[in-house]
Chains A and B, each alone.
Chain A
Amino acid sequence: MTYYTGNAASVSDLLDEIQSRAVANGWGLNSRSGEYLHLNTGGAYFHLRENGTTLQCSVSSNYVPGQGILGHANAPSALANTAHGNLFTAPFSEYHIFATSQYIHVVAQEAQLGMWVHMHFGLTENFTGLTWVAYTHTSGRYWTLTSASTIDPLSVNHTCPFYSGRHYPSYFSTGCNRNLVNANGTYYEPLLINYSSAGFGAQGRSWYSTENLLRNPSTFNQQTILFPMQTDFEKVAYSKQYHPGGSYKDVRAIYMENYRAGDTITLGSDIWKIFPLCNQFGNTTAGAYTPHTGNYGLAFLTNP
């Protein structure tokens, strides 16, 4: 089984669920202690931490007992450089975990109904013909926008799952053989979020065709296309010359105009479950702003 759903009373409970589902899908458990959960798969090590209403995640190439989410080989040097999913405000009336030996996708509805949070980590999918180990990634959602701006998940004021962004970018590594590469949200189309971190040598980017995304649904059948998302990273720091780093497996970008959170799309034998990046119907009134991402969403494969 790869798709799980239920509810969790706290972030700690959610971590327990993540642990259970990961182990059931072949992940190695390094430790679960207090606020920390340490997992590994494919030679990559992932470290999750409950910190109030924030769920933090980092990746490294080994596990050092007694360390938190830092302090492992090739781990980020500072908490600020880890992937964060903020506002993991329990209780979670719904959680959805999509798990294989390659990745864990977590989507949860916060105490405020309609608000969704994401956390993703695992290995990217190698392109056909590659023989080297997949790149690791972590990704979370972080929202700091507090004004009644337009619906813009591409704003530099917050990050989006997989797209990453200014504050809490994703990270990439070969799992064990290279230093982590800072992944900002340089993108494909208007998802341009320039961010450079002095702590890392090179930037990465994640992208999909936002132009095509916004051309959905098709007018003649009202259907929506699911778009793969890819990640690249710089060959040399700040060179703006990239290598492809694979795609995020079993997750797609989607424009949710005809869909709502939890809806499914069936394509052949594949069943995809859809969630907004954050909040599909937030309040855009000045002074009463709530985070909102409109029809920007993600679809996850329930039966890989």
Chain B
Amino acid sequence: MAYITGTATDHLDMLDIIVKSACGYGSFSAPSAKTMGGTSTYGHIDARGVLVDERVETFLNTVTETFTVTCINASSNGAEVWSVSGSSSGAQPDATTGILYSNSLVAFLISDSTTSGDIQVGNNFVFNTSQGPAKTEGVEWTLEVDEGFPDHSSIADVVKILKGKGTSGTDEIYVALRAYSSSGGDYYNILVAGMTGYMTGPRQFVNGSTYTCMPLWGSVTQPAPLKYWISVKARRVAVSVKVNLTYVNMYFGLLIPYATPSEYPYPLVIAAGTATVTQQYSDQVHHFDSFSCPKSSSSVPSATNSSMKYLTPAGDWRGVANYYASGTNEYATSASSDHITPTQSGGLAGRSNSVLFDSENGSRDLYPLVLGSSVVGVLGELEGCYWVTGAGSVSAEDYLTVGGDVYDIFQNVYRQEWYDYWCLERS
């Protein structure tokens, strides 16, 4: 499985990383001999005569290799010419200082530093690139649309529409991710929408779709970077992001349906933290949750007030909520609501149930997160995501090894009761 971990600087960086991870973009890293700064996609080397300033970017076609960039003509100050050679891809077109270099494998910008002295012929630097895990696994999604959002251009919100190919390789699984922020409102979030397609021309974020929200950032965020875990499969993407001491989780893509493809061809699910797009990540309200135990802001869950939504076999959006928030309290939704098992009220991992610990030998069992609808039936389960008991010595970022497979454990946002944990298949 394509499993990507790392850190992001803010919600925009996180959005970029989710998209690039899903779409199988490569990554780059500097040789250990160099001093690098910035993030995984933006770097800086500033050793005398060896400099890459501003950024290195990688693409879908990036392969795992080492690039060597050497100054071969320094006659024009500030416009020096550099040879570019990949250990696998071989000689590439030359680069020029001050001009963005970009081919299908890598992009970077060499800057002349006025404080570092002139660049000399023979100056060189190297960096490594790696093929994106999703590309390596053959599960990469396609970035269909990548643009700013006109209605929110002043705050640099962007929309990215992805298409998954599914296990058949020919499926069309459409989701959209949108940065959604307000400095006045002090929220910096990512919205995720599910859809059956998208319009060409001026984009419409909501086009027969519905969306949910992943709160990620705010003024109370600690300066530490956002730590993330991203699992990419051909049918879905699952994400957990640590912001301060909370874990914000996201799932978009298909269920594993309990039906044939002809019976249920498009079991699309989108789930994040809340249906409230202006939610601050640091606000510990009941309706801010994880897909392991989705919630709504109403006693009647719907596709507009629930943190998790899905498309029925008939093509209707429905909300999923095990509990709902009312004032400062939280209540179980009724049996007529759609639920995720086993965390629903009365379920094995229901809030009021007796505590289930680990096994006698200390191992922990995994329970699939099953979507059941009071109207449609029992529809399927979230792929690679499981409920796990938190009773005993468990905390987020622990991991389990079961049958040779590894699972990372996360908590439901800020919650740490025994029923608030879930795990994500790593391998």
Assembly CA distance A197 to B370 (angstroms): 34
Main secondary structure of the interface of B (DSSP, over half): loop
Q: Which of B263, B346, B355, B401 contacts A220 (CB 8 A)?
A: B263
Taken residue by residue from 119 to 131, chain A's Cβ proximity to chain B (1 for < 8 Å, 0 otherwise) reads as 0000000011111
Q: Which A residue's beta carbon lies closest to that of B258?
A: A225
Could you say which of B73-81, B359-367, B409-417 contacts chain A?
A: B359-367
* CB atoms of B361 and A130 under 8 A apart: yes
* CB atoms of B346 and A190 under 8 A apart: yes
* CB atoms of B348 and A207 under 8 A apart: yes
Taken residue by residue from 105 to 131, chain B's Cβ proximity to chain A (1 for < 8 Å, 0 otherwise) reads as 000000000000000000000000000
**Any A CB within 8 A of the CB of B1:** no
* CB atoms of A220 and B314 under 8 A apart: yes
**Any B CB within 8 A of the CB of A218:** yes
Chain A residues closer than 8 Å to B148, beta-carbon distance: none
* CB atoms of B341 and A211 under 8 A apart: yes
* CB atoms of B347 and A211 under 8 A apart: yes
Assembly CA distance A243 to B364 (angstroms): 10
Chain A residues closer than 8 Å to B403, beta-carbon distance: 128-129
Chain A residues closer than 8 Å to B360, beta-carbon distance: 132, 243
Q: How many A-B residue pairs have CB under 8 A?
A: 103
**Any A CB within 8 A of the CB of B88:** no
Chain B residues closer than 8 Å to A205, beta-carbon distance: 354
Taken residue by residue from 335 to 360, chain B's Cβ proximity to chain A (1 for < 8 Å, 0 otherwise) reads as 10001011010111000011111111
**Any B CB within 8 A of the CB of A186:** yes
Which of A128, A207, A209 has the most C-beta atoms of chain B within 10 angstroms of its own C-beta?
A209
Could you say which of B44-52, B56-64, B373-381 contacts chain A?
A: B373-381
Whether A212 touches B259, Cβ cut-off 8 Å, given contacts A131-B361, A188-B347, A220-B313, is no
Whether A211 touches B313, Cβ cut-off 8 Å, given contacts A130-B359, A188-B348, A218-B258, is no
* CB atoms of A212 and B358 under 8 A apart: no
Q: Which A residue's beta carbon lies closest to that of B349?
A: A188
Assembly CA distance A225 to B374 (angstroms): 14
Chain A residues closer than 8 Å to B376, beta-carbon distance: 218-220
Whether A212 touches B370, Cβ cut-off 8 Å, given contacts A128-B403, A240-B354, is yes
Main secondary structure of the interface of A (DSSP, over half): loop
Q: Which of B314, B341, B356, B401 contacts A212 (CB 8 A)?
A: B341
Q: Which of B313, B341, B374 contacts A209 (CB 8 A)?
A: B341
* CB atoms of B375 and A219 under 8 A apart: yes
Q: Which of A129, A190, A225 contacts B378 (CB 8 A)?
A: A225
Q: Which of A130, A207, A215, A217 contacts B363 (CB 8 A)?
A: A130
Chain A residues closer than 8 Å to B399, beta-carbon distance: none
**Any A CB within 8 A of the CB of B391:** yes
In the assembled complex, the CB of A220 is this many whole angstroms from the nearest CB of chain B, namely: 4
Q: Which B residue's beta carbon lies closest to that of A222?
A: B377
**Any A CB within 8 A of the CB of B264:** yes
Which of B263, B264, B357 has the most C-beta atoms of chain A within 10 angstroms of its own C-beta?
B357
- Interface residue ranges, B against A (CB under 8 Å): 258-260, 263-264, 312-314, 335, 339, 341-342, 344, 346-348, 353-361, 363, 365, 370, 372-379, 391, 401-403
4 tightest A-B CB contacts, nearest first: A218-B377, A220-B313, A240-B354, A221-B263
- Interface residue ranges, A against B (CB under 8 Å): 127-132, 186, 188-190, 205, 207, 209, 211-212, 215-221, 223, 225, 230, 232, 235, 240-244
